[in-house]
Amino acid sequence: MKMKTSTSRKLRYGGVSAGLTALIIAVIIIVNVIFSALSQKFLWYADLTPELLYSLSDTALDLIENGDEKFESLSPIEMVDKAREENPDTAPEDLMIDIIFCDDPDTIEANTYQRYVHHTALELEEKFPDYFNVEHYNIIRNPSSVSKFKTNSLSQIYTTSVIVSFGTEYRVHNVQSFYTFNEGETETPWAYNGEKAFVASILAVTRAESPVACITTNHGEAFDDSQFLNTLIDAGYIVQNLDLAADEIPEKCRLIVVFDPKSDFTVADGVADIDEIEKLDKFLDGTNSMMVFMDPDTQRLENFEEYLEEWGISYDRYTDDAGVETSHRIMDSSQALTVDGYTFKADYVTAGTGAAFTTDMRSRPVPQSIIFKNAMSISYSDVYSPTHYAPEENSTDEDDVAYDYASYYANGTSRAIFDVFTTSAKAEAYAGGVLRESASDTNKLKLMTVSVENRTTQEDNYHTVNEASYVLACGSTDFASSALLQSNSYGNTNLLLTALRTIGKEPVPVGLEFKPFADLTIDTITTAESTQYTVVLTVVPILVAAITGIVVIVRRKNR
């Protein structure tokens, strides 16, 4: 009977002990969950990284609060206040700078690189609680939550994307854009650049005015429809007409469009004092851009096309023995959409600067077709030197492939011209009804080109800023017709939107430095010594714990 009582007592004590242990564990878990939730909400954490990686510097905070003198505009905080004053019926919390992460907070915190970016965003929200709002969308469960932030139907937003938004303006970043990598490296960053990436986007989405796009007039330019103008507006531009002979180019203008001109641009020739070409040249010297659309029905414009040749662009024409000049008209029967072969699908260029305009479009399993109709071919002008780029023999980058372009350097000016779209290798160019040129695998006819003048300035010991000017030339005016821009089957609209955003200018904050990661490797011991230390530090604590346990058990039995 005594043994039963002893056993019952042990069971009772054992049950109480197990229950108490379970209760303590449950309390610890509940407290941990509550603390984690509160720490997330009230930012109960400190930046303990040796370099204070994600902490905002005084310079960054000053740029957000007081703006950048370089752009002589209101600061982001002032822009939010201005928007609220202009929209008194809108609640202040509906006019915030939103920073949107595309996954749940727990998932973001579990990834080191996303976590740093997340904490920088949370610090912005903490420093300016009335102006910044950090949100989390789970785009796997709800993909439509970010649909309004897609530039076009081809834009991709991933769970690692970060969106900075204010009003109708937004910028979408991947997590890599917040870091600095060694050249050719995309996996392991060596520095955190999140502060600058955030401030640049914040300045961009809160800028006082959208850039202006000017359409030249008084050269016979005419738009049969407004779809192309709507595309410019969709890309974020304010569209204005511009008579270069009578008006000065607006200060806020960032893009000039020359669409289907019928008469030439004037130059100062001793008779006329007005020089439209000089105005264009000064405009492009100011790191701005121009788009030119002409077709086979465009008669040669001597002054204007001579200026385009300075940018490497030569619209192809044939002059017969009688001096009669006729434009090249392209027929591509192998990719034709019409019986006559003059409306056809173009080939994407996949390498060089021109390919950057179509990277997103080509990333689809089946890229959208780009259609050219009634197109005139383009050649590199004679003043440019043809150049063939070939990757190094030991290159392992599959995107590093050979391509052709042309370059020009004189009097401190450096320009280059690249293909964006070409015909197939079976296309032909006719002038006056006679075959004048045939394409080949190594010489496809050019349909759209982009010329770039790079002006690189040194920002600091590590960063340079490229202030480039672009001239995009297209050999078809029907390319931008409503019939092609409004079609869901073709990618002409998406291409224009992408090109317009690529050549658009974004304010870049100066004075914010990246933060290199600390080198925590131990360089003073050999690999063998490192292995030995690891074994000792792993095994010794286990042995000490085991021996201690055995001693305790033996002593209890001997009591």
Ordered by start, the domain boundaries in the chain are: 58-207+512-516, 212-391+400-502, 526-559
Residue 217: CB atoms within 10 A of its CB come to 17
Which has more pLDDT, 409 or 375? Answer: 375
pLDDT at 451: 95
Whether residue 510 is predicted with pLDDT greater than 50 in this model: the reply is yes
Whether residue 201 is predicted with pLDDT greater than 60 in this model: the reply is yes
Which has more pLDDT, 451 or 23? Answer: 451
Q: Measure the CA–CA gap between 429 and 317, rounded to whole angstroms.
A: 10
pLDDT band at 173 (very low <50, low <70, confident <90, very high): confident
Please give the C-alpha separations between residue 487 and each of 84, 147, 149, 483, 498, in angstroms, as whole numbers. 38, 20, 21, 6, 17
pLDDT at 159: 92
CATH of domain 58-207+512-516: 3.40.30
Q: Measure the CA–CA gap between 429 and 421, rounded to whole angstroms.
A: 16
pLDDT at 468: 86
Both structure tokens of 550: 């055995």
Q: Measure the CA–CA gap between 98 and 84, rounded to whole angstroms.
A: 15
Which has more pLDDT, 484 or 514? Answer: 484
- The answer to whether the 58-207+512-516 and 212-391+400-502 domains have the same CATH topology is no
pLDDT 10s digits, 270-279: 777 889 999 9
Whether residue 314 is predicted with pLDDT greater than 80 in this model: the reply is yes
pLDDT 10s digits, 410-435: 877 889 999 999 999 999 999 988 99
pLDDT band at 43 (very low <50, low <70, confident <90, very high): very low
pLDDT at 485: 84
Whether residue 167 is predicted with pLDDT greater than 50 in this model: the reply is yes
Amino acid at 158: Y
Which has more pLDDT, 541 or 89? Answer: 89
Whether residue 194 is predicted with pLDDT greater than 50 in this model: the reply is yes
Residue % of the chain over a pLDDT of 90: 43
Burial of 543: CB neighbours in 10 Å, binned 0-12, 13-18, 19+: exposed
Three-class SS state of 108: helix
Alpha helices in 183-285 (DSSP H): 194-205, 227-234, 276-285
Contact between 419 and 405 under an 8 Å Cβ cutoff? The reply is yes
Sign for the pseudo-dihedral over CA of 226, 501, 356, 475: positive
pLDDT band at 532 (very low <50, low <70, confident <90, very high): confident
Three-class SS state of 546: helix
pLDDT 10s digits, 123-159: 999 999 999 999 999 999 998 898 888 755 445 788 9
pLDDT at 29: 77
Contact between 64 and 202 under an 8 Å Cβ cutoff? The reply is yes
Buried b (16+ CB within 10 A) or exposed e, 60-83: bbebbeebbeeeebbbbbebbbeb
Pairing between strand 212-216 and 238-242? Answer: parallel
Residue 157: CB atoms within 10 A of its CB come to 20
Q: Measure the CA–CA gap between 243 and 225, rounded to whole angstroms.
A: 20
pLDDT at 224: 62
The pair phi, psi for residue 41, each rounded to 5°, is -75, -45
pLDDT 10s digits, 232-242: 877 768 889 99
Whether residue 384 is predicted with pLDDT greater than 80 in this model: the reply is yes
Which stretch of 304-313, 331-340, 548-557 has the lowest confidence by average pLDDT? 548-557
Contact between 141 and 154 under an 8 Å Cβ cutoff? The reply is no
What's the mean pLDDT in 302-314? 96
Whether residue 507 is predicted with pLDDT greater than 70 in this model: the reply is no
User: What does DSSP assign to residue 95?
Assistant: S
Beta strand segments in 362-468, E? 371-373, 378-380, 385-389, 403-410, 413-422, 428-431, 434-438, 446-453, 456-458, 464-466
Angle at 445 between CA 443 and CA 446, to 5 degrees: 115
What's the mean pLDDT in 212-224? 86
Amino acid at 179: Y
Whether residue 375 is predicted with pLDDT greater than 50 in this model: the reply is yes
Max mean pLDDT range (36-40, 313-317, 455-459): 313-317
Q: Measure the CA–CA gap between 304 and 281, rounded to whole angstroms.
A: 11
Average pLDDT, the chain: 82
pLDDT band at 102 (very low <50, low <70, confident <90, very high): very high
pLDDT at 524: 46
User: What does DSSP assign to residue 393?
Assistant: T
pLDDT band at 548 (very low <50, low <70, confident <90, very high): confident
pLDDT 10s digits, 269-302: 777 788 999 999 999 988 899 999 999 999 999 9
pLDDT at 559: 62
pLDDT band at 543 (very low <50, low <70, confident <90, very high): confident
What's the mean pLDDT in 42-63? 64
Residue % of the chain over a pLDDT of 70: 79
Q: Measure the CA–CA gap between 482 and 369, rounded to whole angstroms.
A: 16
Q: At what angle do helices 194-205 and 112-127 cross, to 10 degrees?
A: 50
CATH (one of 2.60.120, 3.40.50, 3.30.70, 2.60.40) for 212-391+400-502:
3.40.50
pLDDT band at 171 (very low <50, low <70, confident <90, very high): confident
pLDDT 10s digits, 321-374: 888 899 999 999 999 999 999 999 999 999 988 998 888 788 888 888 999 999
Whether residue 35 is predicted with pLDDT greater than 80 in this model: the reply is no
Whether residue 1 is predicted with pLDDT greater than 70 in this model: the reply is no
User: Which of 196, 195, 190 lies closest to 517, judged by CA?
Assistant: 190
User: Which of 399, 345, 403 lies closest to 371, judged by CA?
Assistant: 345
Q: Which secondary structure element, helix H or strand E, spans residue 107, and what is its range?
A: helix 105-109
Q: Measure the CA–CA gap between 17 and 23, rounded to whole angstroms.
A: 10
pLDDT band at 68 (very low <50, low <70, confident <90, very high): low
Which has more pLDDT, 224 or 370? Answer: 370
Q: Measure the CA–CA gap between 258 and 293, rounded to whole angstroms.
A: 6
Q: Residue 495 contacts by C-beta under 8 Å, 6 or more apart in sequence?
A: 357, 358, 361, 370
What's the mean pLDDT in 387-394? 81
Q: Measure the CA–CA gap between 415 and 452, rounded to whole angstroms.
A: 6
pLDDT band at 230 (very low <50, low <70, confident <90, very high): confident
User: Which of 377, 376, 375, 378 lies closest to 344, judged by CA?
Assistant: 375
What's the mean pLDDT in 529-549? 71
